[in-house]
Amino acid sequence: MLKYSIKRLLYSAIILVFVMLIIYTLMYVMPGNYVEQKAYELASKPGATKSAAEWLADLKKQYGMDQGLIKGYFTWLRSAVRFEFGDSWKWQKACTQVFTDRIWYSFILNVITMILEIIIAIPLGIHAARKQYSFSDYFTTVFSMVCISMPTFFIATVLKLVFAVKLKWFDLTGMIDPRIHDSLSDFGKFLDVAKHYVLPVITITIISIGGLMRYTRTNMLEVLSSDYIRTARAKGVPERKVIYSHAFRNTLIPLITILGGSLVSLFSGAIITEQLFGLTGIGQASYQSMVVGDIPFTMFYLMFISVLTLVGNLVADLCYAAADPRVRLS
C-alpha cells in the first residue's frame, strides 16, 4: 500500500506539472498591456504597498513572464517548489498569507454542508431504494434531480429574496453585521457569524445533496438485488437486520470512497456561493483575484485546487481499498 501510494504520488506530481503548464499558458497569453494596466490600477488603489513597476518586476522575476513560455514556466516552477508564490496584487499580501487568512472560513462552510449532506442524503437514498417505485422513491428521485439541476445563483437569489429581503431574517451579504458586531460579546459574535452562514450552507447543501442521494440509492438498489441479500431473506433474517446490517454496510463501501475523496475538497472553497453571499473565504478571494487578473494569486489558487483534486483521487482509492478488503491496489 505504501509503495502504491508513493507511486501514485509521483504520478500525480507529473500530472500536476502538466496541469500547471496549461494554466501557466493561460496566464501567459494574457495581453501584456492588460497585465500592466491591471498592475497600475491595483497599485494606485489606497493601501497599495508596492508600485506597479515593483509588481511587474516581481512578476517577471518569479513568474518568468518576460521569458519564453517553457523557460518562464520552469522559472515559476522553481519558485513554486520553494513555496514562493509572491504577493497577491488584489490583496496586497503574500498569497500564502491570504490563503491562511481565509481558508478556515471556507473549511467551516464546507464541513457544515458535508455533515448536513450526509445526514440528509444517505438516509433518504436508502429509504428510496428500500421502497423502489413507491411514492417516496419517486419523490426522492425527482427531488435529487431538481437539486442537481438548480443553478447555484438561482437558489442563492431565491433564498436571498425570501429570507433576506422579504422576511429580513438574514443579511443579504457579508460575514458579520457591521452595525452591531463590535458591541457583541464573544459568544454573540460567534452567533452573528453563524447567522450569516445559514443561507450559504443551505445553498451548497441543496446543490450537493442530489448527487449523493442518487448515488446512495443506486448503490443500495444494487446491493439489495444481490444474491447474498436474497439468501439472507430466504433464511428468514428479519428485514431490519437485512437492510441495516447486511445491505447498508455494503452500500457504505462506495460511499466511503467518494466521501473520502471529497474530504480534501473541504478546503477548496465554494467560488460562486461565497461570492454571492459575500463570505470572505478562499473561494471569494480567488474569484475576485481571477476577475481582476491577479496572476500570482490565481496561479497559487489553481495550483492548490489541482493538488487537492489529485490528492482527493488518491485518498478515494485508498479509502476504497481500506473499506473493501477484496480490492487490491496495484
Partner 1 sequence: MASYNLNEILKKRALSQKGQEKKEMDLGDTARVKVLSPMQQVFKRFIRNRLAIFGTCTLLFMFVFSFIGPIFYKYSQSETMYKYEGVVSPYSFVQLRKEYTGYTLDPEVTYNRTAVNKTNSNINTMEKAGQTTYAFLASDGKLYILNKEGESIYSLAQADLKKTASFGEGLVLVGTYDGIGKTVKFEREDLGAEFVALAAENCKGNSGEFVFEDVTYTFTKGSAKKSYNIYTEPSEGFNYYGAALDEGFENAATAAAVGEMFEYGGKQYVVTSPDEGSFEAYAVSDPVRFMLYTKFGFDTYATGLPLTDSFKVQALNAVYGGGPFQAERLADTEAYLEEVAEAAVEAQNEHEDVAVGMEEETAPVQTEAATEAPAETGEAAEGGEAEIPADSDFVTDTFTITPSEEHEGVFVITSSTGEKYAELNTLVVRRNNGDDTMDLDLKYAIRGVVEKMMADFSQTETLTYQIPMQTEDGKNKYDEDGNLEYADSEITITRRNDGEYNVQASQQRLLIDKFADPSAAHVLGTDGDGFDVLARIMYGGRISLMVGFVVVILETFLGVIMGGLAGFFGGWVDNLVMRLVDIFYCLPFMPIMIIIGALMDAMRMDVRIRLFVMMAALGVMGWAGIARLVRGQILSLREQEFMVAAEATGLPISRRIFRHLVPNVMPQLIVSATMGLGSTILTESTLSFLGLGVKHPLATWGTMINSVSSAAAMEQYAYIWIPVGLLICFTVIAFNFVGDGLRDAFDPKGKR
Query: What are the residues binding partner 1 (CB under 8 A)?
Result: 15-16, 18-19, 22-23, 26-27, 29-31, 34, 138, 141-142, 145-146, 148-154, 157-158, 160-161, 165-166, 172, 217-218, 221-222, 271-272, 275, 286-287, 290-293, 298, 301-302, 305-306, 309-310
Rounded distance, CA 6 to CA 136, Å?
A: 46
Q: 86 vs 125, which CB is nearer to partner 1?
A: 125
Rounded distance, CA 34 to CA 85, Å?
A: 21
Q: What share of the chain is helix, strand, coil (3-state, %, to 5)?
A: 80, 0, 20
Q: 172 vs 184, which CB is nearer to partner 1?
A: 172
C-alpha cell at 194: 453563524
Q: Find the shortest distance in angstroms from Cβ 39 to partner 1.
A: 13
Q: 166 vs 179, which CB is nearer to partner 1?
A: 166
- Bridge partner list, 147: none
Q: Find the shortest distance in angstroms from Cβ 190 to partner 1.
A: 26
Q: 74 vs 237, which CB is nearer to partner 1?
A: 74
The DSSP line for 284-317 is HHHHHHHHHT-HHHHHHHHHHHHHHHHHHHHHHH
Q: Hey, what long-range contacts does 324-328 have (CB within 8 A, 24 or more apart)?
A: 324/253
Q: Find the shortest distance in angstroms from Cβ 213 to partner 1.
A: 13
H or E element, residue 88: strand 87-88
Q: Check if the beta carbon of residue 106 is closer than 8 Å to that of residue 283.
A: yes
Q: Find the shortest distance in angstroms from Cβ 241 to partner 1.
A: 25
Q: 34 vs 228, which CB is nearer to partner 1?
A: 34
Q: 86 vs 283, which CB is nearer to partner 1?
A: 283
CA-based nearest residue to 251, from 212, 220, 228, 211:
220
For residue 59, the Cα-to-chain-centroid distance in whole angstroms is: 28
Q: Find the shortest distance in angstroms from Cβ 26 to partner 1.
A: 6
Q: Find the shortest distance in angstroms from Cβ 238 to partner 1.
A: 27
Helices (H), 183-294: 186-224, 227-234, 239-241, 248-264, 271-277, 282-292
Q: Check if the beta carbon of residue 327 is closer than 8 Å to that of residue 4.
A: no
Q: 192 vs 222, which CB is nearer to partner 1?
A: 222
Q: Find the shortest distance in angstroms from Cβ 36 to partner 1.
A: 11
